[in-house]
Chain A
Amino acid sequence: AQSVTQLDSHVSVSEGTPVLLRCNYSSSYSPSLFWYVQHPNKGLQLLLKYTSAATLVKGINGFEAEFKKSETSFHLTKPSAHMSDAAEYFCVVSGTSYDKVIFGPGTSLSVIP
């Protein structure tokens, strides 16, 4: 069985400071992992994905995530937050082919000027 946990429902950072959004997963086999972003009144957009290549994955808008198998984590980071980063972020795990794409509950990121 697969599951995903996002450890914080809300994160608030000051503009220019680092962002850390935490995600832990559970999977009985090697998963594919994704981060999506949802800006207000918009659909979800893929930020980045991990599919068993490099453990450090770079995405759009300066975001990156590191896959740590020993910790079953896939945390999303960005060195310096911008106001435009304020959005809802979803961690997603999937297995082979279709097979159950599981969305986390989301983390709302606020960026304070």
Chain B
Amino acid sequence: DADVTQTPRNRITKTGKRIMLECSQTKGHDRMYWYRQDPGLGLRLIYYSFDVKDINKGEISDGYSVSRQAQAKFSLSLESAIPNQTALYFCATSLSGESGKQYFGPGTRLTVT
């Protein structure tokens, strides 16, 4: 079984809808991250969490919110989806003190029409 899983893997939604992307990990890592990937822009950090009670905004948090329900679960929500949020979304985990060494999920391809 994969160490970092994301659901759904693909999602098409309409403008204005609320959508949640979920991430679960079995690695026992305390740190979790949400990124979006757009062609030519690499990965951009949306939110990160050092533990259940420590959540921080990344460089592009506007329009997104997160919830760390447990050490193993980190959800990303789009409260009112817009077309420019169409992207590939990745969840990642790491140990504290080794933030550059991250383990990624397979990604969620989100299309907002």
Taking beta carbons and an 8 Å cutoff, which residues of A are in contact with B? Answer: 9, 32-34, 41-46, 49, 90, 92-94, 97-99, 101, 103-106
Contacts and interface: CB of A to CB of B under 8 A. Distances in A.
Contact of B99 (A42, A94, A105): A94
B52 to A, nearest CB: 16
Given A43-B4, A43-B107, A97-B99, A105 B40 contact: yes
Q: How large is the interface on B (under 10, 10 to 19, 20 to 34, 35 or more residues)?
A: 20 to 34
A104 B42 CA distance: 6
Contact of B42 (A32, A46, A106): A106
A105 B31 contact: no
A42 B43 contact: no
B110 to A, nearest CB: 14
B101 interface: yes
B90 interface: yes
Given A49-B101, A94-B100, A98-B31, A43 B90 contact: yes
A43 B44 CA distance: 14
B42 A105 contact: yes
